[in-house]
């Protein structure tokens, strides 16, 4: 298995075609919406809240470049973990589905 450097990695990569394991570097919501587990690099200052929610649910793994191959292989070798993390990710999305509406209402109060 060859792993590209993180800076050259696309946002979403399909690793396994039967149970679509998705690796995301920048956007963590897309795989969660599709009930997929998430592996993300340690730099996520623009999405701290969603990472915190996904992390507390056990739906995301934060790994550095050195540990990325091992994290991918761990999921690849454990299909049940793929399913469990994906279900947890989807649940976080469903629980926070009204976040946009709440933010718009908060902004509206200041206009």
Mean pLDDT of 15-29: 51
CB 67 within 8 A of CB 3: no
Distance CA 66, CA 75 (A): 16
Q: What pLDDT, on the 0 to 100 scale, is given for residue 58?
A: 94
Mean pLDDT of 25-46: 76
Confidence category of residue 76, pLDDT binned at 50, 70, 90: confident
- Cα angle 81, 31, 85 (rounded to 5 degrees) comes to 20
Distance CA 54, CA 35 (A): 12
Lowest mean pLDDT among 16-20, 21-25, 53-57, 99-103: 16-20
Confidence category of residue 27, pLDDT binned at 50, 70, 90: low
CB 29 within 8 A of CB 51: no
Strand partners, 67: none
Q: What pLDDT, on the 0 to 100 scale, is given for residue 43?
A: 79
């Amino acid at each position: 298995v060859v792993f590209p450097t993180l800076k050259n990695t696309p946002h979403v990569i399909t690793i396994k075609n039967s149970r679509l394991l998705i690796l995301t570097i920048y956007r963590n919501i897309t795989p969660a919406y599709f009930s997929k587990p998430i592996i993300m690099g340690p730099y996520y200052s623009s999405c701290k809240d969603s990472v915190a929610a996904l992390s507390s649910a056990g739906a995301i793994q934060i790994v550095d470049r050195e540990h990325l191959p091992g994290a991918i292989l761990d999921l690849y070798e454990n299909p049940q973990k793929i399913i469990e993390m994906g279900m947890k990710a989807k649940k976080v999305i469903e629980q926070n589905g009204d976040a946009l509406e709440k933010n718009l209402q908060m902004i509206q109060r200041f206009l």
